[in-house]
């Protein structure tokens, strides 16, 4: 749940609660930068939401995966509610990029051809004339009706009435001759997360056989609640549907492990539906996105323009499953079917069945039989599309339906006229609480993990086997194992339960079994020795992470205490069975090497690294498996300019100079990364010389192995991709 805040206008400028800067001028408010939902900070100001936005030097915040120039909703608000135009102050290059962003979000794809997205092509029942529908909602408007770009001249200046704006290297100077005032504003914009966790769970969340968690019940102009989105829990795994911005942050604070969510259903490319998608892509391992070719290419065009990262590289960050109308898709054991809703841009709805339950999600959709007839008469809807729209699948047992102001959304009063037995099945989202009718059988969605809906469902026959196989596939060290090993795994694992505070492993005792965490968190105490950071002294592991392997492989006593921080459910494998299970694979050798390299302080180095510290414990463990300690004498190159890479490096101790064309561009030290991701990916010569300024201890990473790691950890890839100006 978000919280409305009272903003006091200050001089020379005001820092908005969610990020960005507001300055009051003789021509009204001006805002530098616009992180998502900052419109909720400004809607109630005395002079209203700003009409003038100055784009920051950088649009996109890579570490968090969000744009800090989200003006889509201010444009909507100014145009549709205030009947005013929005002014965007920017460079020519920014204007080119931003027009592409706004094309996708305001008007949708310029060219739409859905024939390949229907099993029966344009002969399919319900096949839409999508171009006609988009044109109808556009109403003849052009981008220039909504906004005007004000472009800096060759001197880096623009003039808006009595206000002159000058673009500097790291600031904007506003000279307001109307008020005889000068103001310097930062040119880089950060953001603040405003997202109440709700009732924080004392224990890590255990996904159910079937459930729905609301990530946001409302729309983009409601200052009290998050924008709409939810998680479907199916067979103990999560599917995010149009995650709102900062959903991943909220899930972490709500004790929900990111490994429990393996896919996203992306319905369309409005900011209140796609802003959290990119954040989830960058969170940990690769996720799978289900949507149509039309929607995903719109998403990629939008984020290519925002990030300046080529489309091919963005596509490589996730696995994409293109869905077609008329075909079923099995996700976590549920059967999904998709269709196109009626909206201003291509927007997907879907149904699924799972065991004895059925579910329908309308997505953003104008559901109005009277309007359908009007659109049929206008030639916007084809005859079969009209009949398909009339036949909404109210028969489903669980109905999640949007509501909001027409013509883009469904009127709440229409839903409130439906038969009582249908209303009782409907959960309404995309609407503010104060817009719900007082007398109704409809249910308003409620934000928070504590308000998760748990429909009654018959568990699958093979539920336990499914969970064991899911664990096997999620533990990174077992991913390359053949299918034949799955049967052995099911036969040898046991389930054990540990209470909060219980010591699972005691240091210096004999190792007797291997552990995989199914639910809960543990802390590992006493493994790191010597001068290390406080963070490194206590490792924390969660779902699908493993521990206890080192003493089994090396036949040595346990090297640390492992304590249950919460109640823990773990899969365990006895020592002899575990050693037999990994026999004949490279895993035994690799785990022995991992044990040895950890003695050198790898965890502490990664924990203090500016590039790797934000990684999860699982990501750090995966990286440790690749790290090999080496020594480099002062004056020696780790990587020579114009030479091909064999290894990249992470510095353990000492100083390294990054040199380009004879000039030192940066000094690197403990935890820093020596290498260029683009050159490593392409096996191209280095453009930078990495030279040891002192004697250096470093961990080297073999190129092919490291590239495999990067391909499976998009967030790490994105952080490294922006080092030394490489994009």
- State the Cα–Cα distance between residues 654 and 93, nearest whole angstrom: 41
How many domains does the chain divide into?
Answer: 4
Amino acid 614: pLDDT: 81
Distance CA 400, CA 231 (A): 12
Which token pair is 11? 């001089």
- Do 659 and 558 belong to one domain? no
* Contact status, residue 697 vs residue 652, Cβ threshold 8 Å: yes
- 246 part of a folded domain: yes
Q: Burial code of 24-58, b = ≥16 C-beta within 10 A, e = fewer?
A: bbebebbbbbbbbbbbbbbbebeebbbbbbbbbbb
Q: Which of 537, 565, 599 is the last residue of a domain?
A: 599
Question: Quick one: 399 and 323 in the same domain?
Answer: yes
Residue 366 and residue 296 share a domain? yes
Helix (H, G, I), strand (E, B) or coil at 412: helix
Same domain, 372 and 245: yes
In a domain, 613, yes or no: no
Query: Is 2 inside a domain boundary?
Result: no
Cα Rg, the chain, nearest whole Å? 27
Q: Which domain covers residue 397, as residue numbers?
A: 210-451
Residue 97 has pLDDT above 80, yes or no: yes
pLDDT value of residue 585: 82
The pLDDT score that the predictor gives to residue 200 is 66
**Res. 104: pLDDT tops 70:** yes
Annotate 280-341 with three-state secondary structure.
Answer: HHCCCCCCEEEECHHHHHHHHHHHHHHHCCCHHHHHCCCEEEECCECCCEEECCEEEEEEEC
Mean pLDDT across the stretch 108-125? 95
**Does residue 457 fall inside a structural domain?**
no
Q: Could you tell me which of 13, 94, 87 has the C-alpha nearest to residue 52?
A: 87
Q: For position 637, which CATH number holds? A: 2.60.120.10
Place of tokens 């009654």: 456
Output the pLDDT for position 727: 36
Asked whether the predicted pLDDT for residue 48 surpasses 70, the reply is yes
Does the residue 606 lie in any domain?
no
Rounded to the nearest 10 degrees, how much is the dihedral formed by the CA atoms of 368, 373, 376, 380? -30
212-253 pLDDT per residue, tens: 999 989 888 888 888 889 999 999 999 999 998 888 888 888
Mean pLDDT, residues 707-711: 91
Yes or no: say if 674 and 682 are a contact pair by the CB < 8 Å rule: no
* Mean per-residue pLDDT of the chain: 91
Residues 23 and 150 both lie in one domain: yes
C-alpha closest to that of 495 among 568, 565, 582 = 568
pLDDT of residue 530: 54
Q: Is the pLDDT of residue 198 over 80?
A: no
Strand intervals (E) in 554-641: 561-564, 568-574, 628-632, 637-639
Sheet holding 637-639, edge to edge: 637-639, 689-692, 656-660, 663-668
Answer yes or no: is pLDDT of 265 > 60: yes
Interhelix angle 703-711/714-721, rounded to 10 degrees, is 110
Is pLDDT above 50 for 20?
A: yes
Arithmetic mean of pLDDT, 376-402: 97
Instruction: Indicate the angle between helix axes 92-102 and 293-307, nearest 10 degrees.
Output: 160
**Distance between CA 337 and CA 323 in Å, rounded?**
9
Residues 6+ apart with CB under 8 A from 661: 641
Question: Quick one: 437 and 474 in the same domain?
Answer: no
Q: Are residues 346 and 228 in the same domain?
A: yes
Per-residue model confidence (pLDDT) at position 350 = 98
Lowest mean pLDDT among 564-578, 683-697, 704-718: 704-718
Pairing of strands 319-322, 561-564: unpaired
| Mean of pLDDT values over 533-557 | 83
pLDDT digits 0-9 by tens, 144-192: 999 999 999 999 999 999 999 999 999 999 999 999 999 999 999 888 7
Strand partners, 34: 69
- Residues 407-432: pLDDT tens digits? 899 999 999 999 999 999 999 999 99
Residues 340 and 469 reside in one and the same domain: no
Domain membership flag for residue 299: yes
Residue 280 lies in a domain: yes
Sorting pLDDT into bands at 50, 70 and 90, what band is 618? Answer: confident
Is residue 561's pLDDT more than 60? yes
Strand partners, 88: 53, 149
56 pLDDT higher than 50: yes
Distance CA 15, CA 31 (A): 10
Give domain status of residue 615, yes or no. no
Query: What was the pLDDT predicted at 356?
Result: 95
Give whole-number Cα distances, 437 to 402, 404, 431, 441, in Å: 14, 13, 11, 9
- Quote the Cα angle for 118-126-121, to 5°: 25
Quote the CA–CA distance of 305 and 286 in Å, as a whole number: 22
The stretch 650-674 carries a mean pLDDT of 95
Between residues 484 and 687, the one the model is more confident about: 687
Instruction: Tokens 């060219």: give the residue.
Output: 111
Supply the pLDDT for residue 249.
82
Handedness of CA 257, 259, 262, 264 (dihedral sign): positive
What pLDDT sits at residue 195? 63
Pairing label, strands 494-498, 546-547: unpaired
Instruction: Return the closest-CA partner of residue 399 out of 419, 429, 369.
Output: 429
User: Which among 451, 479, 511 is the end of a domain?
Assistant: 451
pLDDT in tens, 637-647: 999 999 999 99
Predicted pLDDT at 532: 59
The verdict on 151 and 224 lying in the same domain is no
Burial level of 700, CB count in 10 A (0-12/13-18/19+)?
Answer: buried
Domain limit, last residue, from 451, 482, 499: 451
Q: How many residues does the chain have?
A: 727
Residue of higher predicted confidence among 559 and 351: 351
Q: Are residues 19 and 41 in the same domain?
A: yes
Q: Could you read off the pLDDT of 569-614 as tens digits, one per residue?
A: 999 999 999 999 988 888 888 888 888 888 899 999 999 998 898 8
Q: What pLDDT sits at residue 726?
A: 43
Between vectors from CA 178 to CA 173 and to CA 179, what angle results, nearest 5°? 75
DSSP 79: I
Residues 149 and 45 in one domain: yes
Verify that 522 and 471 share a domain, yes or no.
yes
């Amino acid at each position: 749940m978000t919280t409305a805040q009272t903003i006091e206008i200050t001089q020379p400028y005001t820092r908005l609660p969610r990020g960005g800067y507001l300055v009051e001028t003789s021509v009204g408010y001006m805002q530098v930068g616009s992180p998502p939902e900052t419109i909720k900070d400004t809607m109630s100001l005395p002079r209203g939401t700003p009409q003038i936005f100055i784009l920051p030097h950088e649009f996109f915040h890579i570490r968090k995966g969000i744009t800090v120039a989200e003006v889509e909703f201010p444009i909507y608000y100014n145009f549709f509610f205030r009947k005013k135009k929005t002014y965007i102050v920017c460079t020519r290059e920014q204007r080119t990029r931003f027009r592409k962003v706004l094309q996708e979000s305001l008007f949708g794809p310029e060219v739409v051809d859905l024939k390949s997205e229907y099993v029966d092509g344009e002969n399919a029942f319900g096949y839409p004339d999508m171009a006609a529908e988009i044109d109808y909602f556009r109403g003849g408007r052009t981008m220039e009706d909504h906004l005007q770009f004000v472009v800096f001249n060759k001197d880096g200046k623009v003039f808006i009435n009595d206000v002159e704006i000058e673009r500097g290297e790291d600031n904007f100077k506003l000279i307001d001759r109307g008020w005889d005032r000068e103001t310097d504003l930062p040119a880089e914009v950060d953001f603040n997360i405003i997202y109440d966790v709700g009732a924080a769970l004392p224990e890590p969340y255990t996904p159910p056989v079937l459930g729905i968690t609301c990530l946001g019940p409302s729309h983009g102009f409601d200052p009290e609640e998050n924008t709409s989105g939810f998680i479907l829990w199916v067979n103990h795994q999560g599917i995010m549907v149009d995650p709102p911005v900062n959903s991943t942050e909220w899930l972490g604070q709500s004790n929900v492990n990111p490994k429990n969510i393996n896919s996203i259903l992306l319905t369309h490319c409005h900011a209140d539906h796609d802003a959290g998608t990119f954040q989830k892509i960058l969170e940990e391992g690769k996720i799978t996105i289900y949507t149509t070719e039309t929607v995903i290419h719109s998403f990629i065009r939008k984020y290519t323009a925002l990030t300046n990262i080529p489309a091919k590289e963005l596509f490589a960050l996730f696995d994409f499953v293109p869905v077609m109308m008329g075909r079923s898709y099995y996700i976590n054991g549920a059967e999904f079917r998709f269709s196109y809703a009626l909206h201003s841009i291509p927007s997907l709805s879907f149904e699924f069945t799972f065991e004895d339950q059925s579910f329908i999600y309308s997505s953003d959709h104008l559901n109005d039989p009277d309007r359908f007839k009007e659109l049929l008469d206008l030639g916007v809807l084809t005859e079969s599309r009209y009949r398909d729209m009339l036949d909404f699948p109210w028969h489903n047992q669980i109905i999640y339906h949007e509501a909001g102001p027409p013509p883009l959304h469904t009127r709440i009063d229409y839903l409130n006229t439906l038969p009582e037995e249908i209303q009782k099945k409907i959960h309404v989202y995309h609407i503010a609480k104060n817009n719900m009718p007082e007398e109704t059988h409809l249910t308003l969605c409620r934000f928070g993990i504590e308000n998760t809906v748990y429909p009654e469902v018959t568990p699958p026959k093979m539920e336990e086997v499914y969970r064991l196989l899911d664990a096997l596939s999620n533990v990174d060290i077992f991913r390359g194992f053949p299918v034949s090993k799955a049967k052995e795994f099911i036969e040898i694992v046991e389930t054990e339960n540990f209470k909060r505070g219980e010591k699972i492993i005691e240091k210096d005792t004999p190792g007797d079994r291997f552990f995989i965490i199914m639910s809960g968190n543990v802390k590992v105490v006493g493994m790191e020795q010597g001068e290390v950071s406080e963070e490194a002294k206590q490792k924390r592991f969660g779902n699908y992470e493993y521990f206890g392997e080192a003493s089994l492989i090396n036949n040595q006593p346990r090297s640390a205490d492992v304590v249950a921080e919460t109640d823990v459910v773990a899969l365990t494998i006895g020592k002899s069975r575990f050693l037999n299970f990994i026999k004949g694979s490279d895993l035994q050798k690799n785990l022995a090497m991992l044990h040895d390299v950890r003695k050198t302080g790898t965890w502490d180095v990664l924990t203090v690294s500016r590039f790797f510290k934000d990684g999860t414990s699982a990501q750090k463990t995966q990286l440790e498996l690749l790290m090999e300690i080496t020594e480099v004498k002062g004056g020696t190159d780790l990587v020579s300019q114009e030479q091909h890479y064999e290894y990249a490096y992470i510095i353990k101790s000492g100083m390294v100079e990054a040199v380009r064309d004879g000039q030192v561009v940066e000094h690197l030290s403990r935890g820093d990364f020596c290498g260029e991701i683009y050159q490593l990916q392409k096996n191209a010569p280095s453009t930078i010389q990495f030279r040891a300024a002192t004697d250096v201890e470093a961990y080297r990473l073999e190129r092919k192995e490291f590239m495999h790691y990067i391909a499976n950890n998009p967030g790490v890839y994105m952080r490294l991709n922006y080092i030394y100006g490489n994009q």
